[in-house]
A and B are shown apart, each in its own frame.
Chain A
């Protein structure tokens, strides 16, 4: 598995995903900075500023980025026709997918660190009071951990939709709605994995609504369920998807071969 992960990291160098992801990861800071210019009488402190980054990451940007990156990692093996070469090594499709998901979680961690550092830098430049070291450390852990957990919450969507580019784009749109639902305050969303991350890591989540009482245990269970579904999907994806069915069906289940000298 170690070698697989190393190979996946090497592949990242060839793709523009890292740059795109880093650029998108910075958007949560841009959003938080923009909100400080809203003329609504808010008195800003570091907790409020970093909380906005946490919310923006969880509900807007991270689900989209991770669904798109995860989808891109997997669908590239199909579109680049490199899967057959990998399978002759031999590496099972399941292991390959698991390696990609681990790299995705690693990138989530990296983007979390980026978001936090940019957030602290922006807050300092805006003259927002910084607070004590333990407070800053607590927010660092929250933002980074939230990003990794979003990757866990999105992993089932990635696995279900990543065998073709258009399917992974559908997965990205689905991840957008999935993440956006995290913005809504509604008791049944205690079982929604993205909302669960906010319930567990955002101290202000659900406060100010007397009809909502989120519980940490169902939230943790919903995240565990997302992880379990990911493991189950990996378990049943032992083999890569076969050649297009329509073409095979015309030939009684045999693979279509090109005519002529090829």
Chain B
């Protein structure tokens, strides 16, 4: 499996688009830092600067991870899973011999690896832009990078239904990519419609992830500043594990089924 992952990563070197897609992760941190800078007042001391950084960091978790990442996962999946079809190399891989299932696991593994790189990049951009523009004071960076990477992995799992759409509508990039964008936007829409109703939101993969990560971040901030926050209970974590476990299992079964159907 490690060799397969390495091969898939080598193939990505030919896809310049993926590097640019990853770099798009810089856009939201830049916009958020600029926005914060425009309404920023330098009063309040160190704690105020740290709170500004926390605000930008939390906003970036919402924009870069729960809105933009599912779209990018859909596009990346379209590139990864259609590569063999477009270059007519699937038969060569079968001759190795390599099963469709192994290939799927390798491609999903690449999706997760890419998500880790994206998470580190977008968090690095948040830290860099905040520090450069002087609109906040980055602190507790080990935790921030750790939770970003975890959020990236969880959001990728929550985005696997978009990968199912991509593979099901494998005839054309158009429908696949439109549906993966539709999936990301519909999650955002659910957040608007069911605002405050966590009983529903917690059962939607992306929103459930956002709520859990939000609780972790807010509790950490509360511990740092000595303020009160809604506690993170083991039930919250168990709920997310069950939700994302089910999402992962169902998505994987469907991905394998639809990919095998295409591969014949």
Q: Is B42 an interface residue (CB 8 A)?
A: no
Stretch from B2-10, B46-54, B168-176 forming part of the interface with A? B168-176
Query: Hey, which chain A residues are within 8 Å of B150, CB to CB?
Result: none
Question: Which of chain B's residues 203-255 have a Cβ closer than 8 Å to chain A?
Answer: none
**A83: CB under 8 A from chain B?**
no
CB distance from A58 to the nearest CB of B (A): 13
Taking a contact as CB atoms under 8 Å apart, the answer to whether B178 and A186 are in contact is no
Instruction: Give residues in A with beta carbon < 8 Å to B.
Output: 15-17, 20, 23-24, 27, 31, 34-35, 37-38, 40, 60-61, 64-65, 68-69, 72, 79, 164-167, 169-170, 172-174, 176-177, 180-181, 184, 186-188, 211
Q: Which residues of B contact A15 (CB under 8 A)?
A: 172, 174
B31 touches A172 (CB 8 A): no
Given A176-B71, A177-B27, A177-B68, A170 and B17 contact (CB-CB distance below 8 Å): yes
A173 and B24 contact, Cβ closer than 8 Å, known pairs A64-B178, A166-B17? yes
Stretch from B95-103, B129-137, B151-159, B187-195 that touches the partner: B187-195
Say whether B75 faces chain A, with CB atoms less than 8 Å apart. Answer: yes
- Residues on B with C-beta less than 8 A from A165 are 86, 173
Q: B21 at the A/B interface (Cβ < 8 Å)?
A: yes
Closest Cβ of chain B to A115, distance in Å, is 15
- Write out the residue numbers on chain B whose beta carbons fall within 8 Å of the beta carbon of A68: 173-174, 177-178
Contacts of B31 in A (CB 8 A): 181, 184
Minimum CB–CB distance for B125 against chain A, Å: 13
Task: Given the known inter-chain contacts A16-B174, A16-B175, A165-B173, please indicate yes or no for A186 contacting B35, CB distance below 8 A.
Answer: yes
Asked whether, in the complex, the Cβ of A60 is within 8 Å of the Cβ of B185, the reply is yes
- The reply to whether B172 and A16 form a contact with Cβ atoms under 8 Å apart is yes
Number of A-B contacts (CB under 8 A): 93
- Contact between B174 and A176 (Cβ–Cβ < 8 Å)? no
- Collect the chain B residues with CB atoms within 8 Å of residue A72's CB: 172-174
- B251: min CB distance to chain A, Å: 21
Pick from A176, A181, A186: contact of B181, CB under 8 Å = A176
Q: A169-B79, A184-B35 given. 6 additional CB < 8 A pairs?
A: A35-B189, A72-B172, A166-B16, A166-B79, A170-B17, A173-B21
Residues of B within 8 A of A (CB): 15-18, 20-21, 24, 27-28, 31, 34-35, 38-39, 67-68, 71-72, 75, 78-79, 86, 171-175, 177-178, 181-182, 185, 189, 192-195
Whether A166 and B15, one on each chain, are in contact in the complex, defined by CB atoms closer than 8 angstroms, is yes
Q: Does the CB pair A20–B193 fall under 8 Å?
A: no
| 3 tightest A-B CB contacts, nearest first | A166-B17, A170-B17, A169-B75
Q: Which residues of A contact B171 (CB under 8 A)?
A: 16
Inter-subunit contact A40/B195 (CB<8 Å): yes
Q: Which residue of A lies closest to B78 (CB)?
A: A169
Taking a contact as CB atoms under 8 Å apart, the answer to whether B68 and A20 are in contact is no
Tell me the complex Cα distance, A180–B171, Å: 28
In the assembled complex, the Cα of A17 lies from the Cα of B173 at a distance in Å of 10
Q: Name the one of A60, A65, A173, A180 contacting B75, with C-beta atoms under 8 angstroms.
A: A173
B189's contact among A31, A169, A174, A176, by CB below 8 Å, is which? A31
**Shortest distance between the CB of B16 and any CB in chain A (Å):** 8
Within the assembled complex, what's the spacing in Å between the Cα atoms of A173 and B75? 8
Q: Which residue of A lies closest to B17 (CB)?
A: A166
Taking the closest CB of chain A, its distance from the CB of B175, in whole angstroms, is 5
A172 B75 Cβ-Cβ under 8 A: yes
Chain A nearest CB: distance from B183 CB in Å?
A: 11
Asked if A35 and B67 sit within 8 Å, CB to CB, the answer is no
**Known contacts A177-B24, A186-B35; is-contact A169 B177 (Cβ 8 Å):** yes
5 pairs, A vs B, C-beta closer than 8 Å: A31-B189, A34-B189, A173-B71, A176-B181, A188-B38
- In the assembled complex, the Cα of A61 lies from the Cα of B189 at a distance in Å of 13
Cβ A37 vs Cβ B193 within 8 A: yes
Contacts of A64 in B (CB 8 A): 178, 181
Determine the chain A residues whose CB is within 8 A of the CB of B68 once the complex forms: 173, 176-177
Q: Are B79 and A174 touching (Cβ within 8 A)?
A: no
Q: In the bound complex, how far is the Cα of B31 from the Cα of A184, in angstroms? A: 10
CA distance A34 to B78 in the complex (A): 29
With a cutoff of 8 Å between Cβ atoms, the chain B residues found around residue A24 in the complex are 178, 182
Instruction: Evaluate contact between A169 and B17: CB separation under 8 angstroms.
Output: yes
Closest-CB distance, B19 to chain A (whole angstroms): 9
Closest chain A residue to B184, Cβ basis: A176
Collect the chain B residues with CB atoms within 8 Å of residue A20's CB.
172, 174-175, 178
Q: Are A35 and B79 in contact (CB under 8 A)?
A: no
